[in-house]
Structure 1
Amino acid sequence: MAEEVMVSKWQLFRNRNFRLVFISMLFSAPGYYVYLMGAEWLMLSITENRFYFGMLFFAASVPRLLFIIIGGITADRISKKLILLTSDASRAILVGIVIVLLLTDMLQPWHLLVLSALFGVSDAFSYPAASSLLPEVLKPENLQQGNAMVQMTNMVSPIVGPAIGGSLIVLGGFPAVFTLAIVMLCAATFSISLLRTISTQKELAEIKQSPLEDVKAGFNYVKHNPLIRTIMIVSFFINFFLTGPVSLSVALLAKDVFETNALGLTILEGTLGIGSLAAALSLVLLKNLKNPGHTVIFSLITMSAFFILYGAAIHFWSSAAAIFAIGICLQLTNIPISTMLQQTTDRRMIGRVMSIMALASTGLIPVSYMVTSALLGIGVSIQVLCITGGISVMVTGILCLRNKQLTSFNSYNKEKHQEMV
């Protein structure tokens, strides 16, 4: 049986198109994080105003949010290969512009903000194209394995990219790290350029109600489902109070509090990614949680406690251990939440419900970045923001202990689901 599984996995790599897509993502995703590591440390190095550092994240997230729907429509109308080619090539050009500005001593903080915004636009078009490309290159029975391998690549990239980027900053400086990012993005572009796609004209299904009516139906469904409402509220507090402080605190603690070099930043960012990866792998091995609602609440409270300890920033290694635990708890919260949504939502509504969930969480990320950046700009320390955010999320978790819809969700009721369908 084990041999059959191994053979099945290797069959994916006998598919030339899948090999090219997989190789492209092996270069593209880590290449982006190599650039991001360089851009973060460069922004901290050229200006003492930490408002600009926070805006680096905000500038990328807003265009990504505004253009993500257009990106999805575009992916359904033109060649996905062309979109990915344009995306990776444009990113390489943008990083090249950074190198030119850096070498000519013309680089200003606003340059990095503009380039970050353009990266966000690129993300908005490349993400829908990449996520919808696999069904065109794989057979239906191979899609699960293909998606799993691609997802593993996406999870490893935030670990490998910062590790390589931080090391290069120390050894070769900013030109070296940005040059490597260009090489990796060009390699991804070349791999996708070899892709052989079969152009097919898809017939559009007749739509009986307007998109606006579909959106209204989705929001009404969420409004009248207590469990989904609870999950949305939990997601709101996580994304608003933790996303901004988590993203900004790693670099700020490494440079301003612990006064370490880029390797220190690499360690902190790497431990967060390793913790997230470890939790995801553990959930794969466990398959099904008996009490996912309790797991979410326990992980939420535990994560907030570690976030408070992390914000206290007593020692570098204690903060690294705390952020490792935060990475674990974050996935032990997010993955069961997604699973519960999928299990309890009417199949006819699941697309809209999941899109509302994604829109709510993604929409709050720029707000969290903006509020965090503004507070940093007026002198509030990142440590205070971490502690405050941790306390707010802990209160949310404690209140969830009284929520019967969440605590009573012990197992999936197939009969109930069949009735809903």
Structure 2
Amino acid sequence: MKIPYKEILCEKNFNFLLFGRFFKRSSLTLFSLELIWLTIKLTDSSPFYLSLMIMTQTLPFIVFGIYGGVKADRWNKKKITVISDSLSAILILAIPILFFGGFLNYFILICTAVLISILNCFSEPSFRALLPELVTDNKLQRSNALLDSIQRGASILIPASVGIVVKFTDQIHIFTLAFILMIISTVFHLLINYQVPQFNASQSEEGTVSEIKSTLAYLKSNRSILIIILVQFISILINTGLWRVGLPIYLDKNLEKDISTYGIITGILGAAAFATSIMLGTLKKLNPLKIFNIGIILWGSGLLVIGLSPSIFMIYLATILIGVGQASEGLGRIVLIQKQVPNNMLGKVFSISSSINYTSDTVSLGIMSSVLAILSTTSVFWAGGGIILTMGLIGFSSLRKQNNY
């Protein structure tokens, strides 16, 4: 009997990257959760200050994301990851130390959060660009699927552990646990045996602006990559505000459901995405562009179902469709970029994609309250789902015409 993922799990470098990613994602998940609680405590539950704090996790990527991608392509990717993780761990540990010393305030907390986000602007493109240099092309599909699954698994399991932590110690020590997990992540990343590719060693000292321009020119000439980035931008622009603003409001006002129901829905979303990533990784052959478009179709269909039949059962069913769609879209997009984009541009392309996504997140949250003041929640759901579904169908139809199956 053939064991799924056995071949890729036999590679030490990938295992170090995999476990490093798991512990880092776990650390940042705990950090983000506790950041909200501590902000509420320090600001006496101010919605304004809490919104600013949440934005510290998106705005730095809009400003520094592309620059971080340039450096990821020029510098040693392993060193960038290790240094970023180490500095993040120190910053996280500083929070409980300052708290118990009586020196912690909102200004220091928000500055710390901004610095950690800036460090992630360098480590995230380095991580994505590092993988194709550690595994062969024929293993990219399974390695990405496994990495995506482990990240989603952390996002599901780690929040549940918060209740256990606070039973045994002060809640501020969630930051201490996040520090420990980040240190473990640093150790695993440090163990990776990595040699800088030749293109990095001989790369001409091109200016940052020039590198960004050349990457944008590459995207302009490679429409398939550009289109999937733009499709994801539109999908996130529609989805984020609906999911984080529209759905909770609808559950409360129309179905008289509370935060526990929203938590169940979020868990279903994560579980569906996790299972899908694992399953896709076991497929022997995968057309990433086909999987991407199928994912977009399922994503849009889920939102459309909520708009057309917003009962609690149908919302649960639609959530499964959305989870499957998002996991399929994500895996197809990442594999497509890693296979088609030259290695010396991978960091910049991933950082451009991330910056666009974070911009989409921020804009979506900003405009959704205004949109919902004019239109009903259900109409926004079916309209938004219809737009995403249409994009997926157009992409799927163009694939059939090109005979890429």
TM-score range normalised by the length of the shorter chain:
0.7 to 0.9
Residues 22-421 of structure 1 aligned to structure 2 (within 5 Å): 22-43=18-39, 47-103=44-100, 108-134=105-131, 146-169=143-166, 172=169, 174-195=171-192, 197-198=194-195, 202-204=200-202, 211=211, 214-215=214-215, 217-218=217-218, 220-221=220-221, 234-247=231-244, 267-284=264-281, 287-288=285-286, 295=294, 298-306=297-305, 308=307, 323-335=319-331, 359=352, 362-370=355-363, 372-373=365-366, 387=378, 389-397=380-388, 400=391, 403=394, 406-410=396-400, 413=403
Per-residue deviation, 1:242: 1.6
Over the matched positions of the two proteins, sequence identity in percent amounts to: 19
Letter paired with 1:204: S
- Does the 8 A contact of 1:25 with 1:150 survive in 2? yes
Measured at CA, do residues 244 and 350 of structure 1 come closer, stay the same or move farther in structure 2, by a change above 3 Å? farther
Normalised to the residue count of structure 2, the TM-score between the two structures is: 0.72
Per-residue deviation, 1:63: 1.4
- Does the 8 A contact of 1:61 with 1:365 survive in 2? yes
Distance across 2 between alignment mates of 1:285 and 1:196: 26
Per-residue deviation, 1:183: 1.4
Residue in structure 2 matched with residue 2 of structure 1 by the alignment? 2
Measured at CA, do residues 414 and 304 of structure 1 come closer, stay the same or move farther in structure 2, by a change above 3 Å? closer
Deviations 1:135-194 (A, max 9, x none): 665677766655554343223222222222354356645223222111111222233445
Distance across 2 between alignment mates of 1:367 and 1:293: 19
Per-residue deviation, 1:59: 1.6
- Does the 8 A contact of 1:279 with 1:328 survive in 2? yes
Normalised to the residue count of structure 1, the TM-score between the two structures is: 0.70
Whose RCO is larger (CA < 8 A, sep 6+)?
A: 2
Gaps of 5+ in 2: none
Farther off after superposition, 35-44 or 133-142: 133-142
Residue in structure 2 matched with residue 419 of structure 1 by the alignment? none
Deviations 1:312-338 (A, max 9, x none): 7x87x9866654443223334555567
Distance across 2 between alignment mates of 1:216 and 1:374: 28
Per-residue deviation, 1:230: 6.6
Distance across 2 between alignment mates of 1:213 and 1:41: 41
Letter paired with 1:359: I
Letter paired with 2:94: I
- What is the RMSD computed on CA atoms of the aligned residues? 5.0
Per-residue deviation, 1:53: 3.7
SS in 2 for 1:60: coil
Letter paired with 2:7: S
Distance across 2 between alignment mates of 1:85 and 1:357: 19
Distance across 2 between alignment mates of 1:379 and 1:114: 32
- Does the 8 A contact of 1:296 with 1:337 survive in 2? no
Farther off after superposition, 81-90 or 197-206: 197-206
- Does the 8 A contact of 2:72 with 2:126 survive in 1? yes
Letter paired with 1:60: Q
Letter paired with 2:323: G
Distance across 2 between alignment mates of 1:252 and 1:397: 22
Distance across 2 between alignment mates of 1:136 and 1:356: 16
Letter paired with 2:397: T
Measured at CA, do residues 167 and 11 of structure 1 come closer, stay the same or move farther in structure 2, by a change above 3 Å? same
Deviations 1:355-382 (A, max 9, x none): 7797366425335425525766x9979x
Measured at CA, do residues 62 and 21 of structure 1 come closer, stay the same or move farther in structure 2, by a change above 3 Å? same
- Does the 8 A contact of 2:156 with 2:270 survive in 1? yes
Distance across 2 between alignment mates of 1:300 and 1:252: 21
Distance across 1 between alignment mates of 2:97 and 2:180: 15
Per-residue deviation, 1:219: 5.5
Per-residue deviation, 1:393: 1.4
- Does the 8 A contact of 2:72 with 2:348 survive in 1? no
Farther off after superposition, 66-75 or 101-110: 101-110
Letter paired with 2:358: I
- Does the 8 A contact of 1:60 with 1:120 survive in 2? yes
Distance across 1 between alignment mates of 2:37 and 2:251: 10
Distance across 2 between alignment mates of 1:413 and 1:8: 31
Distance across 2 between alignment mates of 1:360 and 1:76: 15
Distance across 2 between alignment mates of 1:135 and 1:296: 23
Deviations 1:200-232 (A, max 9, x none): 765436799x6476356446436xx6x878756
Gaps of 5+ in 1: 416-421
- Does the 8 A contact of 2:272 with 2:323 survive in 1? yes
Letter paired with 1:363: I
Letter paired with 2:400: N
Distance across 2 between alignment mates of 1:254 and 1:92: 38
